[in-house]
Homo-oligomer: A and B are copies of this chain.
Amino acid sequence: MTGEAAFIAALRELTSHPAARGLADDCAVLDIGGETLVLTHDMMVEGVHWLRGQDPADIAWKLVAVNLSDLAAKGAEPIGVLLGYSLGADDLRFLDGLRDALEAFAVPLLGGDTVGGGAVQVHGLTALGRATCLPVPSRAGARAGDRVWLTGAVGAAMLGFDAVRRGVDDPANRQAFCRPVPLLAEGRALAPLVSAMMDVSDGLLLDASRLATASGVTLTLERGAIPLAQGVEQAGRADEALRWGDDYQLLFTLPPGTQPPVPAREIGEILGPGTAPLLLDCAPPDTAQSLGYLHRSSP
């Protein structure tokens, strides 16, 4: 177990509140005042979640977008955000991107904190949303026989990361990496139908395996059915694209025969519990390579 995995396992021991969902979901889900509140907090660290020298406006956008993507996976409507900001070299440029994102997703800034003194910038954002559909989808509801769906292609953020790192002109993929768009409307449309749903932030294989584990099932993916962003295959990076995150597609399961109300591709199926949570073309994926997430660390 990595340090992070051990820490999270120990954290789980601390919490038995049902709203925490065992710290195994994208969000906390809390009933209050006749409403159901959906809450998430994601952090971003300089040199880990973004490359040193990236435009601070893009960091701000992404900080908002990745948190709203967690709300999207719950079918929640955003209510507001609280910002935890480490002062850096170009704070006003950060605000430009923050303004862009808050306007684009029509979500108000409600509060937060600003600190100085860190050698490395670390930002956090808490997003609050209101559930639009009960029960609120979780990662844990997939059942044998369900079909596995994905809202769109993976790999664009991977190509965009390289374009930023190498200073290459590649506007579409740069946009995918720097200014991802949370699929809020899609999440709301899907929420009443799905048996399980999550956003793909850390890599399709890793996140699919988490969904399978949370649901206590085996999730089998068909490699040829997984949509890849333009240029991924040509670059010989199809396998890597399945292990890269940051595309913020929604991964969800539907009972057989149910068609999704938004554009999506069927990429696999749910089987009963087996020896591995995840199969790729009928075999466990090569775990000599990471299933995801670590790709986001800077070199």
Question: A-side interface residues toward B, CB under 8 Å?
Answer: 3-4, 6-8, 10-11, 14-17, 19-21, 23, 25, 27-28, 30, 32-35, 37, 39-49, 79-80, 82-87, 91-92, 95, 98-99, 102, 108-120, 122, 124, 126, 128, 130, 297
| Structural contact, A17 and B87, CB atoms closer than 8 A | no
| Structural contact, A14 and B116, CB atoms closer than 8 A | no
A98 to B14, CA, bound (A): 9
Q: How many copies does the complex hold?
A: 2
Chain B residues with CB under 8 A of A23: 109, 111-112
A186 to B34, CA, bound (A): 28
Chain B residues with CB under 8 A of A15: 108-110
A43 to B86, CA, bound (A): 9
Given contacts A40-B82, A41-B84, A84-B124, 19 further A-B contacts (CB under 8 A): A6-B92, A7-B85, A7-B95, A15-B108, A16-B108, A20-B80, A21-B111, A23-B112, A30-B128, A32-B35, A33-B34, A33-B37, A41-B112, A43-B115, A45-B116, A45-B117, A45-B118, A120-B120, A122-B122
- Out of B33, B42, B43, which one reaches A33, CB within 8 Å? B33
Shortest CB-to-CB span from A30 to chain B, Å, is: 7
A84 to B83, CA, bound (A): 12
| Structural contact, B111 and A39, CB atoms closer than 8 A | yes
Closest 4 A/B residue pairs (Cβ): A33-B33, A33-B35, A17-B108, A48-B117
| Structural contact, A30 and B110, CB atoms closer than 8 A | yes
Shortest CB-to-CB span from A245 to chain B, Å, is: 14
Chain B residues with CB under 8 A of A47: 117
What residue in chain B is nearest A126 (Cβ atoms)?
B126
- Out of B14, B37, B40, B95, which one reaches A102, CB within 8 Å? B14
| Structural contact, B111 and A8, CB atoms closer than 8 A | no
| Structural contact, B82 and A39, CB atoms closer than 8 A | yes
Tell which of A8, A16, A83, A126 has the most Cβ of chain B within 10 Å: A126
| Structural contact, A41 and B113, CB atoms closer than 8 A | yes
- Out of B8, B10, B19, B114, which one reaches A110, CB within 8 Å? B19
| Structural contact, A86 and B14, CB atoms closer than 8 A | no
> What are 16 A-B contacts with C-beta separation under 8 Å?
A8-B114, A17-B109, A17-B110, A20-B111, A27-B111, A30-B80, A32-B37, A33-B34, A33-B37, A39-B82, A41-B112, A41-B113, A43-B84, A43-B115, A118-B122, A122-B122
Chain B residues with CB under 8 A of A34: 33-34
What residue in chain B is nearest A26 (Cβ atoms)?
B111
Chain B residues with CB under 8 A of A110: 15, 17, 19-20, 28, 30, 39
